[in-house]
Structures are given as structure tokens and as C-alpha cells.
Structure 1
């Protein structure tokens, strides 16, 4: 067998192994127990619709509206399970509709972020902080972090192999046993790279 062909095939397999699945996240929110009680009723339990790629995370049947100074966005998806603090994640385009300027943050980093009004047909709630644009990031298992030679909180570039290939800068690495390896971007970023299901990325350090 031709040695050049063998090298080509091995290189191709290694290259494919180093690609990461990209997932596009639309606007959604995570609710605290207190927020669930206010919006849906005391002791209400969120109902699971579908599992998400990250272990233990799921899309709920429940929907809410979010309102800012200039507008309202209805039918916003609730993700479970419940969290210690309510967090609302939107894109830059969503923020323009709402008339707000939320900070770009990692999930969970909510101190000093913006407030927003959340409503259902039963009640409404104004949170003082929790509205953010989530920083693009890559979840990695510890084994995959070793494979890619990166550590938790590293900042990398990522080449996206979409219909409009591009390189994203300022991508934060998040390593943990609780994660499934995937890169997460919002819909604005997805549109920029021509995202379709099956799009992959490669880490560029």
C-alpha cells in the first residue's frame, strides 16, 4: 500500500477526532425555586420535554415572556433543572428588541448583570439581575481536555466548519466530569457562520 495514502488517511482520522460538535442555543432561561413558585404556583414542578446534550439538562414544556423597556419576547423556553439563581440568556439581537444592553458573561456569573421582567399567564416577576449574553464556550470532559491540551478557563480561538467558515476568538474552555464535549454559540453567532446541524469546530490555541 502506498505510504503517502496511509499517512493521508491517518492524518484525516486524527483531524476528524479533533473536531468538536457545535450547538446553537436560542434565547432561554433557568429558574430558581423562588421564581418557579411566583410564576407557576407554590410547589410547581417543571415538566421535562426533551433531554439536552449536557447530562442532566433538559428542555421544559413551560414557556414565559420576557420584557424590557422597548419590547417583549414571548414563548421563551425554560430549561431545567431549577437553579439557585434565575438566569435569562439572550442574543444581541434579542437585547435590541428588548431595549437593553446585557453584559457578555459566562453562565452563572450574574453579579452586576441586568434585570428583566419575566411573565406567565399567572404572574410576573422582575429580577434585579440575571440577564446576560452568554460568552461563547466549549464544554469538555477531562479526557477530551487532555486530548486538546487545554485547561479549564483557558481562552482559545475556534475554527467553525459551517457554510460560512470563520474563526471565533475569545472562546472560554469549561472542563468538568459533568459535561459532554460540545461548543455552544448563540443564534447571532450561528447565523454568522452559516450553522446547520452537524457543524463542527476545531480548537486553535
Structure 2
């Protein structure tokens, strides 16, 4: 079972970014994606920050138990969930992403604490949200991320983490939330 722990941006943040993507001029997108095979934007309903990828053979019960325990310890010190915004852009191999910017150093520390609670490596963590993928070819290191380089969205806080199962279907990957954990003393809502 392929599992990952995710932090989902607010609906407002998703709408704002989706609007920016929709406004991209088709000629600029075509120019920036020249030479890339099967370039496609991912649906905004799947936009998330992966805090930890648990693998293809992860034990769901172990993952959720660990997350529950570690988040409970974080909440004992009553940290506020990090205040974040989506800003800037970059690429990894086969991926166009929008960056995630913490508002303050304490927000950065809170995000990294959530990465550790999820089982991820907070030291090597690059907070990002994947908005497009391609199958093959090399992207221009400046042109493709330049489509959204000046982007900055609204600030938001997540109230929960999700353990998500990624199932392979004929039409691609389908995400299914299998567990939620509140990251604030308030109930998620």
C-alpha cells in the first residue's frame, strides 16, 4: 500500500493558485514546455505538501499510530500550526512545483516539527506543492519555473495532517485519505 503523510493547503490558497495557473498564457506555457513529453498540470484537488513518503509497502496501522503519538507530543507544548503561503516556483526531475514559504522562523520550525512527526527528514525537507509533471525531456531551468516565479498566494494554516493512500488506477493515481490527525487543540473543520 503506497502511503504518504500530507498537509493540505487551505481552499483559499488552492483557489488563488489555480486562478494564477489558469491565467498563464498558452504561448508561454508552450514555449516553456518545448521538448517535454506528456506535460500536464495536476488537478488542484490533488495539490498537497508531502511531509513524508512512507513507501509502497507501508503498514498503515504503524504509520497512523506513529503519527498520532508524535503529534500528541507536539500538542503537549501547544505549538501553533505553521502559517504558510505558496510562493515562487522550481523544478525537480519531471516535476514543476510551487514553493511553500513560512511566515516566520517559528513557522518554519513548526513545519519541520510536523515533517519529523510524520517520519520525514526535516533537515533535507524542501517544502513544495507539485502542480505539473512530465514523462520525459529536460525543462529549461529558468523558463518553466519562470511561469510562476513571482507568484505569492494568501497566508494559511492547516488544522490537520492526513495519511493518504495513493492507488494506481487506469486513469492515473487516485488519492484516498485513510487517517486524519488534528495539529491544533481545536477540532479540524
Which structure has the greater CA radius of gyration?
1
Please indicate, yes or no, whether the TM-score normalized by the shorter chain is above 0.5: no
Q: For this structure pair, what is the TM-score category when the shorter chain's length is used for normalisation?
A: under 0.3
From the two aligned structures, give the one with the greater helix fraction: 2
Please give the TM-score of this superposition, normalised by the length of structure 2. Answer: 0.25
